[in-house]
């Protein structure tokens, strides 16, 4: 009989060891907020260093009716050795569970700054449990948190590792609208052993992981089976989300005059956080969010240094593009190991589902006299924002590849002049235009651009504009100089009001590049709008210029229907371009005579 009992106990022990730790822990009883009285005392649990759980004292001071974003809040005073060491309730303690008579009351969530840091607010556990019943449809709608009078949420520190000083500054600037303040921290010790999450454990909400990490640090409030509650207040209050849940390591807790705060870093990914609401955050263990995998390779041509990074970025309509672009800048900054001028060649490829064509590719060159790294990320940020925040349909980004080569050399060239080899040409024929460009501190060189005259081009002079791909077209520049409304320029060629997603993507991919020489027809109707004065042919009579502009503007508006009808047949502006090894600036014009039969010499 004794032997049989021993076998039963052994079998039970083996069974318990095989269960997840969250199933072995006995779920505590819940104390409803209506049963809590002033003067009751209890304990709280948190981690202030490493991964060790520690306890602190809690005394109830009162119940604040309907003062929280989800209902009542419990006013408490904390005490004990832990609180003395931390200087009070610290940032990062958000979510620390509070127990009275062994029953779970709620999570530390709010406190005062510049006053008694030992007094704070607790979010009742009853409000937090409701998060598990919320729908999980991944709704990215931004919401704003209801303020708690005279109190502020225990700010959730945003811990960043792997970022350079300049990249961290950019990230801080980009995240200001979200009231997030990133702080650079190190990585967890390589020999640290993380235990399963339990009430009081440090927990991470991670937005970027891989060769860099960006995430928020807080405390676990409650674990039931594979479900987790934490923070006791919102992160961004975005509702249904999909962020990484990680364990976390706390380096130390720093005392501060305004607020104390924990300094820590993200650990291993252990699940997904799928709810971010007024009462806290919630998620599941052993489930993981869908992510955007990004590979970035940067080469500094001057030093031969190559920096390679692979990261996973969470899918979020407001944050994904910012996090991706700042990570790209971080890799560039580390590869260059300097700040200042330079030239960069950038190419990227973005693949995804539910997007036109399934893939976006773009190549371009950039030069900056101040900070080439910042300028180099511009179009990539624009592309990611265009896709993740598009007004047409959700896009599922599957893969992103970025390649950058950078050097300190200034690779720019200015258009000096342009000439046609043939003064007269038939409609539909090609005309070769010799374009002389002068590289910075270099000798002038010649490039040939072939341009095809439209088949329906009427006889007479045809003015062609020759410009760098990154230059503002002449007509727009003239309008700006004359103080004219930009909308007037669209009268003859208005943008579609109901543009399709495919058209937006196509325009982005086919946009002129900075290292191109572009030849296009200068709209004579718009040229006449400005008159000879605008083109610099009558500089001494400003009053006459203004009068001509006004008269021609009225004329253009009157004839708008005819212009629109004509433009619909054109199907876009006629132009051609060639690619060079320089960023091209400057512009000029050439005139060819369109005839039915070329004049023979």
pLDDT digits (tens, 9 = 90+) for 265-317: 999 999 999 999 999 999 999 999 999 999 999 999 999 999 999 999 999 99
CB atoms within 10 A of CB 297: 16
* Count of other CB atoms within 10 angstroms of residue 332: 27
> Is 600 among the domain residues?
no
Facing residues of 432 across strands? 450
In a domain, 334, yes or no: yes
Tell whether 599 is covered by a domain: no
What is the pLDDT, as a whole number, of residue 153? 52
- Among the candidates 407, 438, 466, a domain finishes at 407
Distance CA 409, CA 348 (A): 22
Provide the pairing of β-strand 291-300 with 306-314: antiparallel
Buried-exposed string 18-39: b where 16+ CB fall within 10 A, e elsewhere: eeeebeeeeebeebebeebeee
User: CA 569, CA 490: separation in Å to the nearest integer?
Assistant: 16
What's the pLDDT at 540? 47
- The answer to whether position 318 is within a domain reads yes
Q: Is residue 366 within 8 Å of 344, Cβ to Cβ?
A: yes
Residue at 3 is within a domain: no
One domain for residues 543 and 456:
yes
By C-alpha distance, which of 50, 52, 118 is closest to 80?
Answer: 118
- What pLDDT is recorded for position 256? 62
- Say whether both 73 and 201 belong to one domain: yes
**Residue 311: which of 299, 298, 294, 326 has the closest Cα?**
294
pLDDT block averages, 10 residues each, the chain of length 601:
45 41 61 95 94 95 85 92 90 92 94 76 94 75 40 66 95 92 88 94 97 95 96 94 96 72 90 96 95 98 97 96 98 95 98 96 97 96 96 96 98 97 91 97 97 94 95 56 47 63 96 97 59 44 48 43 42 81 96 78 49
Domain extent at residue 417: 412-594
For 132-150, the pLDDT digits (tens) are: 999 887 634 333 334 444 4
Q: 33 and 146 share a domain? A: yes
Q: Which of 157, 88, 78, 92 is nearest to 122 (CA)?
A: 78
Domain boundary among 263, 289, 315: 289
Residue 420 in any domain: the answer is yes
Inside any domain, residue 601: no
In this structure, the answer to whether residues 79 and 192 fall within a common structural domain is: yes
Q: Which long-range CB contacts under 8 A does 181-185 form with residues at least 24 apart?
A: 181/155, 181/157, 182/158, 182/214, 183/157, 183/158, 183/159, 183/263, 184/160, 185/159, 185/160, 185/161, 185/251, 185/263, 185/264, 185/265
Domain boundary among 407, 430, 465: 407
Residues 210 and 321 in one domain: no
Whichever domain contains 332, its CATH number is 3.30.1490
Shared domain for 371 and 476, answered yes or no, is no
On the CB side of 342, CA atoms within 13 Å amount to 25
- Residue 561 burial (CB count, 10 A): 8
Q: Annotate 210-270 with DSSP letters as a single string.
A: ESSEEEEEEEEEEEETTEEEE-SS-SS--EEEEEEEEEEEEEEEE--SS-EEEEEEEEEEE
| 417 located within any domain | yes
- For 521, the 3-state DSSP assignment is strand
pTM of the predicted model over 0.85: no
Indicate if 208 and 341 belong to the same structural domain: no
Residue 465 to residue 317: CA distance in whole angstroms: 40
pLDDT of res. 552: 47
Residues 198 and 317 reside in one and the same domain: no
Tens of pLDDT, residues 373-388? 999 999 999 999 999 9
User: What is the predicted pLDDT for the residue at 473?
Assistant: 62
Q: Helix/strand/coil (H, E, C) string of 286-343?
A: CCCCCEEEEEEEEEECCCCCEEEEEEEEECCCCCHHHHHHHHHHHHHHHHHCCCCCEE
| Tokens standing for residue 275 | 């709810």
pLDDT in tens, 145-184: 344 444 545 456 689 999 999 999 999 999 999 989 899 9
Which residues partner with 244 through β-bridges? 206, 272
Regarding whether 238 and 89 lie in a shared domain, the answer is yes
Judge contact between 593 and 457, C-beta under 8 A: no
380 and 281 belong to one structural domain: no
Domain count, the chain: 3
Based on the domain organization, do 229 and 104 belong to the same domain? Answer: yes
Task: Based on the fold, state whether residues 255 and 356 are members of the same structural domain.
Answer: no
């Amino acid at each position: 009989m004794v032997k049989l009992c021993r076998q039963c106990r052994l079998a039970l022990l083996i069974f318990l060891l095989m269960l997840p730790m969250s199933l072995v822990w006995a779920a505590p009883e819940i104390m409803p907020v209506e049963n809590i009285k002033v003067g009751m005392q209890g304990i709280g649990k948190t981690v202030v260093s490493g991964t060790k759980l520690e306890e602190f004292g809690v005394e109830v001071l009162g119940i604040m009716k309907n003062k929280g974003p989800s209902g009542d809040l419990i006013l408490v005073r904390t005490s004990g050795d832990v609180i003395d060491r931390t200087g009070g309730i610290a940032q990062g303690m958000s979510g620390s569970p509070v127990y009275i008579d062994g029953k779970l009351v709620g999570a530390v969530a709010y406190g005062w700054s510049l006053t008694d840091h030992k007094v704070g607010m607790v979010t009742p556990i009853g409000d937090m449990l409701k998060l598990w019943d919320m729908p999980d449809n991944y709704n990215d709608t931004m919401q704003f948190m209801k303020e708690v009078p005279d109190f502020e949420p225990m700010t959730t520190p945003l811990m960043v590792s792997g970022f350079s000083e300049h990249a961290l500054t950019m990230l801080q600037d980009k995240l200001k609208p979200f009231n997030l303040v990133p702080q650079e921290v190190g990585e967890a010790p390589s020999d640290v052993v993380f235990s399963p999450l339990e009430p009081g454990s440090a927990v991470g909400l991670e937005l970027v992981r891989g060769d860099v990490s960006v995430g928020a640090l807080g405390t676990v409030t409650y674990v039931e089976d594979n479900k987790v509650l934490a923070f006791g207040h919102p992160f961004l209050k975005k509702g249904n989300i999909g962020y990484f849940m990680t364990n976390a390591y706390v380096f130390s807790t720093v005392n501060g005059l305004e607020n104390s705060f924990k300094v820590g870093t993200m650990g291993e990914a252990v699940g997904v956080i799928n709810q971010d609401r007024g009462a806290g955050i919630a998620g599941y263990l052993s489930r993981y969010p869908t992510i955007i995998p990004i590979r970035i390779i940067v080469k500094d041509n001057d030093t031969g240094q190559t920096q390679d990074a692979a990261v996973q970025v969470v899918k979020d309509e407001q944050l994904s593009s910012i996090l991706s672009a700042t990570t790209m800048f971080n890799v560039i900054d580390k590869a260059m190991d300097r700040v200042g001028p330079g030239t960069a060649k950038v190419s990227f490829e973005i693949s995804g589902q539910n997007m036109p064509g399934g893939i976006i590719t773009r190549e371009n060159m950039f030069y900056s006299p101040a900070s080439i790294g910042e300028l180099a990320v511009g179009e990539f940020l624009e592309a990611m924002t265009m896709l993740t925040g598009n007004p047409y349909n959700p896009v599922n980004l599957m893969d992103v590849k970025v390649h950058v080569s950078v050097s300190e050399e200034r690779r720019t060239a200015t258009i000096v002049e342009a000439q046609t080899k043939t003064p007269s040409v038939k409609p539909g024929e090609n005309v070769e235009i010799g374009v002389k460009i002068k590289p910075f501190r270099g000798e002038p060189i010649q490039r040939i651009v072939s341009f095809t005259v439209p088949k329906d081009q009427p006889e007479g002079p045809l003015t062609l504009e020759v410009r760098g791909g990154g230059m503002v077209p002449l007509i727009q520049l003239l309008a700006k100089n004359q103080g004219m409304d930009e909308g007037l320029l669209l009268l003859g060629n208005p943008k579609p009001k109901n543009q399709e997603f495919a058209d937006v993507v196509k325009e982005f991919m086919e946009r002129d590049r900075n290292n191109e020489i572009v030849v296009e027809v200068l709209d004579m109707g718009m040229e006449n709008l400005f008159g000879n004065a605008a083109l610099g042919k009558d500089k001494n009579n400003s009053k006459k210029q203004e009068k001509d502009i006004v008269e021609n503007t009225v004329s253009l508006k009157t004839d708008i229907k005819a212009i629109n009808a004509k433009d619909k047949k054109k199907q876009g502006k006629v132009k051609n371009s060639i690619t060079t090894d320089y960023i091209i600036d400057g512009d000029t014009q050439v005139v060819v005579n369109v005839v039915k039969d070329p004049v023979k010499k």
